Amino acid sequence: MNNPDLTVAPDPRTAGTPTPPAPLYLRRAGTALLIDFSTGEPALLHFGADLGPGLPDLALLRDPVPHSALDTPVTLGLIPQASSGWRGRPGLRGHRNGRAFSARLRLESVTADAPEDAGSAVVTQTDPDAGITVRTELRLNDGGLLQLRHSLANDGVDPYTVEELAAVLPVGRAATEILDLTGRWCRESHPQRLPLHQGTWVRSGRHGRTGHDSSLLLAAGTSGFGYRHGQVWAVHLGWSGNHESFVDTAADGRTVIGAAELLGSAEITLAPGSRYETPWLFAAYSAAGLDGISEAFYAWFRGRPHHPGAVSGKPRPVVLNVWEAVYFDHRLPALLELAESAAGLGVERYVLDDGWFRGRRNDTAGLGDWYVDEELWPGGLAPLIDAVNGHGMEFGLWVEPEMVNEDSDLARAHPDWIAGPAPRPEAGTGGAGGRLPERWRHQQVLDLVNPEAWQYIYDRLDALLSEHRIGYLKWDQNRDLTEMGHAGRPSVHAQTQAVYRLLDALRSAHPGVEVESCSSGGARVDLGILERTDRIWASDCNDALERQTVQRWTGMVVPPELVGSHIGPTTSHTTARTHDLSFRAITALFGHFGLEWDVRRLDPAERGELAAAIGLFKEYRPLLHSGRMVRADEPDPALRLHGVVSHDGGEALYALVCVATSFAEIPGRVCLPGLDPDVRYRLEALYPAPDDRRAFKHALPPAWLDGGIEASGRFLAASGLPMPVLNPEHGLLLGVRRVGA
């Protein structure tokens, strides 16, 4: 479809070069990526809405050249480079001892899985002068999630240092706002918004782990984009070490969004013939707000063969974790009593938390000594595991394999296995030196890059899993990796890979064992760790009010069946706030549900209510763990509405939550989005009971509250229903089913 009215001056960069390959056009689920090769360099022309079949002649889409600029149009390369005039954040920073600092990568080959309807491709670029080749893998999954990663090979005869290799994508000009997440311990995944101006917005994670403040999602979108409206471009880096994500708007007005591993000084110095592979960048585009971004991520998760949850027919068991019930006070009679009490409530998995291994009476000692403590457990763990299994529950165990206390047999035997900025002397050598990093929770990091340390940890975990009936590991990681080094060189990259290798090896040796990724709560929530674990612990904060935000935003990327979510004690241990059981339960339901509470101490009424809440979860978990997440753009900041709607539109579960006192006397009609407009539904209030005076504060409730109502999906989304007046920090659970279903 060349335009005959346009004449285009030949591009000096491509004159005389062979005919370039056809553009690469990946299209799936309303999203498209378009890469043009007509200049000899893979040029990122478009990432966003599907442009439909058939494209114009892309060579005619080259930008004009402004005054006082390079003489040819500037290409936004798949790896943006100064050699093409790109003056934004470079895609590659690397050198050979200071030389070969500016690469000029040019297309070598492109292969796509299906030329007519490609879903994945590999693009290879090379710069013979710099002696490097970069291979980029691209996959646009059926749900519209794009994956992109580079692998750089050193083809030269001397070492090549990679300082940064970033993955970027273009953002549409319509984007005017940035949104990302931040947080701290007990307050993970909170959103922050800012206008998109010229310049660079960078989120750096230097924690050596993903970080409590990590931007799980970095998004740019159109003005005021919300949960269900506006265009959004979003990225996530699947990596559990240091990283940066950024939005970069150059002086020429173009915006890119991207991310890269953040490397230490000379951390990646490639010997001739070796390569560096970046983590996967995951990216999504939505024409209808953040819910569309979640949909792309959820579809990817749920498409994995090993994905746990309703989709794969592996329902998530109701968990009891004993941490907030007993902490380090491990006594068999109490733990047995807890097991019996939990089983009676309907719990299906019992998790023994920190405190079971040698020398572990508090958090100052023992990490590294992964043997069952003989003094505390004279009969080993078997009496507890047998009882737990006898009650029909699976047994789970807490471990923190990457860490070591200086007060441990392991550290005494192998002081040189503790990671730090300089090599440490071996035991008994009398050697000096090897400064240690500052302690954090009284602990240090075990240098898993050291093959002997890695093997010791593997052998201990393998033995524990082989000798006991353990169905689940809560795999914790409780400190930042500050001054992380192996043999005197920065090693966050290698340590992260060693942890991945450890998990991969253990999982292949014990394929039935599920693993939870915990990191002082949610400091390691990313798709790198989630590729080898089965759920994340979103936060150490079990306060339902805090959890409303933590789970809502963690859930932007991670589907609820992978987000550990427990009913904590009546008065939260981390905030001292007191909440009714109904609010705690309604909050915990929208995740991988469990309890973290001393359930031996409940009165009969509370026990009955808790058993009923567990029953509700079991009834709705197939829906909760397979459906589409919807969040309303609720105008009243005191109210939040979210729900899960089945993909066939046949049923839904919503929660209306009041997080603060409202400016309004009554909530008015609250819209319930996401249902099939043409289907007639029956809606019922499920929990708490309509006469619950602690949850509701009205003289007269809305007429439908007691007994429910029938209405079409269209009516529920467009008109909404008058809601009861909720007291702050209370919620209402609504069940919706197609009439006649």
Catalytic residues: 476, 540
Q: Which of 298, 377, 398, 681 binds ligand GLA (CB under 6 A)?
A: 398
Helix (H) or strand (E) holding 554: helix 544-554
Mark residues 477-496: x for contact with ligand GLA by CB under 6 A, - for none. Answer: -x------------------
Q: Which two tokens stand for residue 393?
A: 């529950």
CA–CA distance, 598 with 560 (Å, rounded to integer): 24
Residues 6+ apart with CB under 8 A from 694: 580, 688, 727, 730
Q: Which stretch binds ligand GLA (CB under 6 A): 128-136, 227-235, 307-315, 513-521?
A: 513-521
Nearest approach, Cβ of residue 642 and ligand GLA (Å): 25
244 counts as binding ligand GLA under rule CB under 6 A: no
Sign of the C-alpha dihedral, residues 344, 350, 353, 355? positive
Q: What is the residue type of 381? A: L
DSSP annotation of 63 reads: P
Q: Which of 140, 162, 518, 623 binds ligand GLA (CB under 6 A)?
A: 518
Based on CB atoms, which residue is closest to ligand GLA, 282 or 537? 537
Q: How many residues interact with ligand GLA (rule CB under 6 A)?
A: 12
CA–CA distance, 369 with 366 (Å, rounded to integer): 6
Cβ pair 294, 162 in contact under 8 A:
no
Nearest approach, Cβ of residue 352 and ligand GLA (Å): 10
Q: Which of 227, 246, 282, 323 binds ligand GLA (CB under 6 A)?
A: 323
> How far is C-alpha 481 from the geometric centre of its chain's CA atoms?
19
520 counts as binding ligand GLA under rule CB under 6 A: yes
CA–CA distance, 254 with 732 (Å, rounded to integer): 45
Based on CB atoms, which residue is closest to ligand GLA, 32 or 470? 470
Best CA proximity match to 552, nearest among 619, 544, 528: 544
523 counts as binding ligand GLA under rule CB under 6 A: no
516 counts as binding ligand GLA under rule CB under 6 A: no
676 counts as binding ligand GLA under rule CB under 6 A: no
Please identify the residue of the shown chain whose CB is closest to the bound ligand GLA. Answer: 354
402 counts as binding ligand GLA under rule CB under 6 A: no
CA–CA distance, 143 with 301 (Å, rounded to integer): 10
CA–CA distance, 509 with 322 (Å, rounded to integer): 27
> How far is C-alpha 523 from the geometric centre of its chain's CA atoms?
10
354 counts as binding ligand GLA under rule CB under 6 A: yes
Nearest approach, Cβ of residue 461 and ligand GLA (Å): 17
Sign of the C-alpha dihedral, residues 498, 163, 524, 142? negative
366 counts as binding ligand GLA under rule CB under 6 A: no
Nearest approach, Cβ of residue 477 and ligand GLA (Å): 9
- CB-side neighbour CA atoms (13 Å) of 383: 13
Cβ pair 147, 297 in contact under 8 A:
no
Nearest approach, Cβ of residue 441 and ligand GLA (Å): 8
Cβ pair 290, 227 in contact under 8 A:
yes
Residues 6+ apart with CB under 8 A from 610: 345, 567, 581, 585, 595, 599, 602
Q: Which stretch binds ligand GLA (CB under 6 A): 12-20, 96-104, 517-525, 681-689?
A: 517-525
DSSP annotation of 151 reads: E
Q: Which of 348, 526, 540, 651 binds ligand GLA (CB under 6 A)?
A: 540
Based on CB atoms, which residue is closest to ligand GLA, 57 or 598? 598
Sign of the C-alpha dihedral, residues 346, 349, 352, 353? negative
Best CA proximity match to 26, nearest among 95, 110, 127: 110
Nearest approach, Cβ of residue 568 and ligand GLA (Å): 11
476 counts as binding ligand GLA under rule CB under 6 A: yes
Nearest approach, Cβ of residue 535 and ligand GLA (Å): 13
The neighbour count for residue 290, using CB atoms within 10 Å, is 27
Q: Which stretch binds ligand GLA (CB under 6 A): 288-296, 371-379, 489-497, 516-524?
A: 516-524
Q: Which of 248, 295, 353, 394 binds ligand GLA (CB under 6 A)?
A: 353
Based on CB atoms, which residue is closest to ligand GLA, 210 or 491? 210
Q: What is the residue type of 191? A: P
Nearest approach, Cβ of residue 185 and ligand GLA (Å): 8
Based on CB atoms, which residue is closest to ligand GLA, 77 or 564? 564
CA–CA distance, 596 with 540 (Å, rounded to integer): 11
Cβ pair 423, 487 in contact under 8 A:
yes
227 counts as binding ligand GLA under rule CB under 6 A: no
Q: Which of 80, 211, 521, 649 binds ligand GLA (CB under 6 A)?
A: 521
- 140-199: contacts with ligand GLA (CB under 6 A): none
Helix (H) or strand (E) holding 24: strand 24-28
Residues that bind ligand GLA (CB under 6 A): 323, 353-354, 363, 398, 476, 478, 518, 520-521, 537, 540
